[in-house]
Each structure stands twice: as structure tokens, then as C-alpha cells.
């Protein structure tokens, strides 16, 4: 049966009062939840997805070589060596229908967060008249930038629940035509944050088919694509056709190269979209400093540090397999570095987060803070906690042992 907004999808109201508490940062909300307590043991933080592995050795020397370039304004589209390096990496890493054109199909970003935000605004401007109020679809739970961009674009939020029953990815076949006809864009994350689900080529192909039929844009957040322990995730661009029409993929060095503080990434795909995107960014978005783009050139030209990064995550997921077993519905994720644990029978996500912090000194994020209410009043993140396995293996093992001790 096709799913309409009234049959389970949630549509966000446009005013701030309706958004209320749910639209605030999940990290700020967690800080407020835990403020009355003190950690019962030396603190281990698993709440923030900030990679703690070593920064690649080449960063310092490359920055030193191009330090003088901090003295000039960067071009919004990015320097040519960066665009060429990003295009070459995409064409090597993924099975694309054809090589990406670095001149018209790559655009540098200050990481993926601001890029995803501005992409929603661009989609709403470019998509053309819709049959009803323009809507932007997104998985639920989701990365907060999707919701913020949707609000800034003046579009209606439509939250698509991602649960164990649908493989933690939006159910495309449940979307009715009336909703799709007024859709400006759909955000998809693969690997998903927080559950780590990975979209198959068949899934991406179906999404591309819907986007072409109804004229909306696919905004594919692939910033976790290089964090996996078994099979490499694919890209929406692989199924986007030779013109990449209606599909834009977003990448970042934060996770891939352990450079969250550098704030460099890129968007690739539909050149018509990227041209309009560049026009908006030329007047509204921050440029990426040239020396940082040169570091990114080095990063996208080297896979050794990425493989070492994956090795370190593999060790930690091996530990999670051993320590957690099948407790709390744990399954090793297909991608990303997060663990999504069901604590609904341990008092719920907020209570579990408080217990772990107060009694075990382990800080996690309540899953309900990463999601929004559906129309039926349910929250797809409720009853779960998210753990980011970004610390060293010893700290990770200690935190997982404490978690089991407290929650059992």
C-alpha cells in the first residue's frame, strides 16, 4: 500500500514553535540531559562522531608548502588541482557510467554539512513548480543539516521512518504519487547515520527512476563510504546514468582521512544543479582556503592512510562483536563507525544514556534525539542509543565492557 503523509510519514510544520525541542542539536540536548550528573568512572566519550585516529603525515608539509595562499581569496568552485583529484578519485573508487568532468561536475565544499544545507536551498529554487507545497524527504533518524536546510529552503519536511523492518533505509515503494509530485529533493545517507545500512545498486537505481519521473533531486550523503569492514559501499552516481541527471553525491575528508577539523569535501553529479549551486554559494557560502584544498589533493591521491584507518575500525568492530555479541540487537554495520543499540527494555534511550554516564562514565547519544516524531506519534530513534567507535581500541573495549556491566 502506498504510504501518504497521514499514514505514517511525518510532515514538519513550518514554524519554529512546532519544531521546538526536536530541532535543537542532539549534542546540546544530551549535554543538558546529563548536566545534573557526574561520570561515575573516568569519562569515555562515544557520543560525538569525531575521528580520533592519527592525522595523515602529509598534512603538515603540504600546509607549509602552500602557507602563502592563505593570503588570497579562494574561488568558490575550487582550484583546478582539487577538482581534478576529486574527479580522479571518484572514477577510480566507484564504477561510474563515465568519468566525472572536473570542470562542471565537481564543486569543493567546507565539509559536507554546509554543502548539504545549501543543497536543499538550491534544489527548492531549481526544481520548478510542484503540485502542492514543495517537500523535501529525508530518512528518520537523520543528520540535522538535512532538516535545517529544508527549513531554510521553505519546504515541508517529510520524515521517512528507517527501522529494522525496512532495513534502516526509507521504503521507496511506500511513497505515494501525490507526495512525489511535490517533492523537490530527497536526502539519502549511505552508509546511514546512525544505523550503518548501505543502499544496494538496485535501491539507488529505483531512487534515480523516481527522481527522473517526478523531477526531484537526489541528495546522496556518502561521507561514511570509506569506513567499512567488509564490502565497499557503492555510490548513487553509479546508477545515475551517463549525464548524472537529478543526482548529486556529497563526500568529505572528515571520516575518510581523519580530518574533521579541516572542513573539506565536495559535491559531484548533475552539472545543471551544480551550476545553480555555485551561483548560490558565490554569494552565501564560505570558500575553502586554498592550502586546505592542496591538502585534500594529497589526501585523495593516497589510499594507504585510508586502508590503515579501516584496519583500526575493523579491530574495534571485532571487539564489539566479541563483547556485545547479539545483545541489544547488535549487528555489525555494513558501513560507518556507529553502533545502534536497542535499549528499549532497559528503560529507554534517555534513561540508558543517564545510567551509562552516571554509573559507568560512558557518554552516548539517545536515539530519539537524532529523529523526529512521525504523524502517528512514534519516534523511530526512541529506545536506541548511538555509539561512535572513534576512540582507540583500548578505550572502546573498556567502554563496551562497562556498558554491558551496567545494562545487563
**Segment 106-160, tens digit of pLDDT:** 999 998 889 999 999 999 999 988 999 999 999 999 999 999 999 999 999 999 9
Per-domain residue ranges for the chain? 17-49+305-407, 59-302
Tell me the C-alpha distance between 40 and 97, whole Å: 54
Give the CATH architecture of domain 59-302. Answer: 3-Layer(aba) Sandwich (3.40)
Q: What is the pLDDT of residues 212-258, one digit of tens each?
A: 999 999 999 999 999 999 999 999 999 999 999 999 999 999 999 99
- pLDDT confidence of residue 138: 98
Q: What is the pLDDT of residues 270-289, one digit of tens each?
A: 999 999 999 999 999 889 99
- pLDDT confidence of residue 128: 85
Tell me the C-alpha distance between 281 and 70, whole Å: 20
pTM over 0.85: yes
- pLDDT confidence of residue 112: 86
CATH number attached to the domain at 17-49+305-407: 3.90.1150.10
Which of the four pLDDT bands, split at 50, 70 and 90, describes residue 2? low
- pLDDT confidence of residue 14: 41
Examine residue 194 and say whether the peptide bond preceding it is cis (omega within 30 degrees of 0): yes
Q: What is the pLDDT of residues 289-341, one digit of tens each?
A: 999 999 999 999 999 999 999 999 999 999 999 999 999 999 999 999 999 99
Q: What is the pLDDT of residues 76-108, one digit of tens each?
A: 999 999 999 999 999 999 999 999 999 999 999
Which of the four pLDDT bands, split at 50, 70 and 90, describes residue 268? very high
In this model, does residue 53 exceed pLDDT 70?
A: yes
3-state secondary structure 106-130: EEEECHHHHHHHHHHHHHHHHCCCC
Which of the four pLDDT bands, split at 50, 70 and 90, describes residue 20? low
Q: What is the pLDDT of residues 159-208, one digit of tens each?
A: 999 999 999 999 999 999 999 999 999 999 999 999 999 999 999 999 99
Phi, psi of 368 (to 5 degrees): -65, -25
Q: Are β-strands 338-342 and 384-388 bridged in parallel, bridged antiparallel, or unpaired? A: antiparallel
Tell me the C-alpha distance between 218 and 236, whole Å: 8
Amino acid at each position: 500500500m502506498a504510504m501518504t503523509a497521514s499514514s505514517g510519514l511525518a510532515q514538519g510544520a513550518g514554524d519554529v514553535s512546532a519544531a521546538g525541542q526536536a530541532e535543537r542539536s542532539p549534542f546540546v540536548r544530551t549535554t543538558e540531559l546529563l548536566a545534573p550528573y557526574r561520570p561515575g568512572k573516568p569519562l569515555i566519550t562515544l557520543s560525538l562522531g569525531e575521528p580520533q585516529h592519527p592525522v595523515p603525515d602529509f598534512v603538515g608539509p603540504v600546509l607549509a608548502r602552500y602557507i602563502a595562499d592563505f593570503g588570497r581569496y579562494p574561488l568558490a568552485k575550487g582550484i583546478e588541482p582539487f577538482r581534478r583529484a576529486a574527479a580522479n578519485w571518484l572514477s577510480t573508487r566507484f564504477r561510474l557510467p563515465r568519468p566525472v568532468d572536473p570542470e562542471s561536475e565537481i564543486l569543493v565544499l567546507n565539509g559536507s554539512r554546509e554543502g548539504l544545507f545549501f543543497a536543499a536551498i538550491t534544489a527548492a529554487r531549481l526544481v520548478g513548480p510542484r503540485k502542492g507545497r514543495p517537500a523535501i524527504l529525508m530518512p528518520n533518524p537523520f543528520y540535522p543539516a538535512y532538516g535545517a536546510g529544508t527549513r531554510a529552503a521553505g519546504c515541508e519536511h517529510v520524515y521517512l521512518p528507517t527501522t529494522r523492518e525496512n532495513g534502516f533505509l526509507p521504503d521507496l515503494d511506500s511513497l505515494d504519487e501525490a507526495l512525489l509530485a511535490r517533492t523537490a529533493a530527497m536526502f539519502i545517507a549511505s552508509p546511514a547515520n546512525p544505523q550503518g545500512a548501505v543502499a544496494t545498486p538496485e535501491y539507488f537505481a529505483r531512487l534515480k527512476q523516481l527522481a527522473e519521473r517526478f523531477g526531484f533531486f537526489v541528495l546522496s550523503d556518502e561521507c561514511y563510504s570509506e569506513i567499512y569492514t567488509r564490502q565497499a559501499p557503492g555510490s548513487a552516481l553509479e546508477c545515475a546514468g551517463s549525464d548524472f541527471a537529478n543526482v548529486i553525491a556529497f563526500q568529505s575528508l572528515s571520516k575518510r582521512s581523519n580530518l574533521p577539523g579541516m572542513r573539506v569535501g565536495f559535491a559531484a553529479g548533475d552539472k545543471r544543479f551544480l551550476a545553480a549551486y555555485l551561483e548560490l554559494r558565490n554569494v552565501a557560502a564560505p570558500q575553502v582556503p586554498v592550502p586546505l584544498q592542496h591538502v585534500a589533493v594529497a589526501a585523495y591521491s593516497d589510499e594507504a592512510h585510508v586502508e590503515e584507518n579501516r584496519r583500526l575500525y575493523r579491530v574495534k568492530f571485532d571487539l564489539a562483536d566479541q563483547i556485545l555479541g547479539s545483545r541489544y540487537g547488535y549487528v555489525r554495520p555494513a558501513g560507518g563507525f556507529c553502533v545502534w543499540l536497542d535499549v528499549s527494555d532497559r528503560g529507554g534511550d534517555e534513561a540508558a544514556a543517564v545510567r551509562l554516564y552516571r554509573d559507568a562514565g560512558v557518554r552516548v547519544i539517545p536515539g530519539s534525539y537524532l529523529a523526529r516524531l512521525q504523524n502517528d506519534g512514534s519516534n523511530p530513534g526512541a529506545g536506541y542509543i548511538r555509539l561512535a567507535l572513534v576512540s582507540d581500541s583500548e578505550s572502546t573495549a573498556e567502554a563496551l565492557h562497562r556498558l554491558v556491566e551496567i545494562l545487563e
